[in-house]
Amino acid sequence: TLLYTIKFEKVAMSKEGSKEDERGCSKKDLLVFLGFLLLTEGGGGLIGFLTSSQFTPDGWYDSLTKPSWNPPNWIFGPMWTTLYVFMAFSAFLIWKKVKFSQCLPWTLFFIQLALNFAWSFIFFIAHELAFAFLESSLMALFILFTLIVFMTLDKRAGLLLVPYLAWVSFATFLAYTIWKLNPGSDTLFCESVGCSPVREDGVTAVPFGKMEAKVLL
């Protein structure tokens, strides 16, 4: 009788837990998810606003020599919006699993996110193509590390980062190709290795410290 009572209580508790899962997220869960979403989408949106002037017909990015398979400018906004949602939901799933009790997954997550935000400034504001390629390569590695660690905690969280890793890997190769097609365009890199800051088409790169303030507006 005692064993039957214990088994009955375990089954009842299991059903109760299942009902809680079916009811969905709590108010706190929703706030945490919105926090992650604000962090990723808000940060990405701010960077997009600061670098939007580079995508105009007479902007710096438009003046670069790019490969024939370079994506159209309009695709970047929807793509990053989607990837930031995936990233936020992935982080939320890890938070549901371990909260902030484990250091490694969150350290990797925030490092890759910082590299993500920094890349736009290196490429679109500083106009450093070589450093942008190197930074993007480092970012792809940290995304891979984050994905692997997330997979060990929640498989869904890791899978949500697969499209992100695929896109950044593609973007890294694109950054490398653009760098090679525009030799001498990055001033800081050229100063460190002694190359000319003038591209073959005669366009002179603008040093980061001498850029006009309007680029940031």
Pair 115, 139: CB distance under 8 Å: yes
pLDDT at site 67: 96
pLDDT exceeds cutoff 50 at 55: yes
Lowest mean pLDDT among 5-14, 25-34, 85-94, 140-149: 5-14
∠ CA 179-141-130, rounded to 5°:
15
pLDDT at site 189: 53
pLDDT exceeds cutoff 80 at 27: yes
pLDDT exceeds cutoff 70 at 11: no
Mean pLDDT of 98-106: 96
Report the chain's mean pLDDT, rounded to a whole number. 82
Least Cα distance to 73 among 58, 86, 60, 56 occurs for: 56
Over residues 155-212, the pLDDT tens digits come to 999 999 999 999 999 999 999 999 999 987 765 555 555 554 444 445 444 444 344 3
Mean pLDDT of 22-46: 88
pLDDT at site 126: 92
Pair 109, 127: CB distance under 8 Å: no
Distance CA(16)–CA(214), nearest Å, equals: 59
Distance CA(184)–CA(200), nearest Å, equals: 8
pLDDT at site 199: 45
pLDDT exceeds cutoff 50 at 217: no
